[in-house]
Amino acid sequence: MQERRRFVRIPERLAIAYKILPSDKPAGFLTKNISQAGLRFFVHDFVKPASLLEVRVSFEKVRFSLEAIARVVWVEKEAHSERYEVGVEFATISKKAASQLISYIETILKTK
């Protein structure tokens, strides 16, 4: 089966803080994987597809935090759990953050 994604995803458990816009109620959890185009992570409460989130991901190994606006692409209820998995794509991300993310992903891929 051929990969359909434009960007490689790497499994990474990183701390993520997010807010569903326009709300100012913060929440947080862990990422499952990350790519140049978006994230997959867990949430405790249902989030509607197409919702916009303000996200902040902490990369402790390299002391860098990525801040972006992300759009929810899909949501799945996790079996036998009260949490959900969401897939988001970056809608707005600074050039500097995008560059740092690409560099981080390339470093991780080189060490595997």
Domain count, the chain: 1
Alpha-carbon dihedral sign for residues 28, 52, 75, 104: negative
Q: Does 87 fall in a domain?
A: yes
Structure tokens at 61: 């190994």
Q: Which residues of 25-35 are buried (b: 16+ CB within 10 A; e: fewer)?
A: eeebbebbbbb
Instruction: Assess whether pLDDT exceeds 90 at residue 5.
Output: no
Q: Does 16 fall in a domain?
A: yes
Q: Does 4 fall in a domain?
A: no
Tell me the whole-structure pTM to 2 decimals.
Answer: 0.88
Q: Does 5 fall in a domain?
A: no
* CATH at residue 30: 2.40.10.220
Instruction: Encode pLDDT of 83-92 as tens digits.
Output: 999 999 999 9
Q: Which residues form the domain of 100?
A: 10-110
The per-residue pLDDT for 4 is 59
* Degrees to nearest 5, angle at CA 108 with 97 and 59: 45
Q: Does 59 fall in a domain?
A: yes
Residues 6+ apart with CB under 8 A from 53: 18, 19, 20, 21, 47, 69, 70, 71, 72, 88
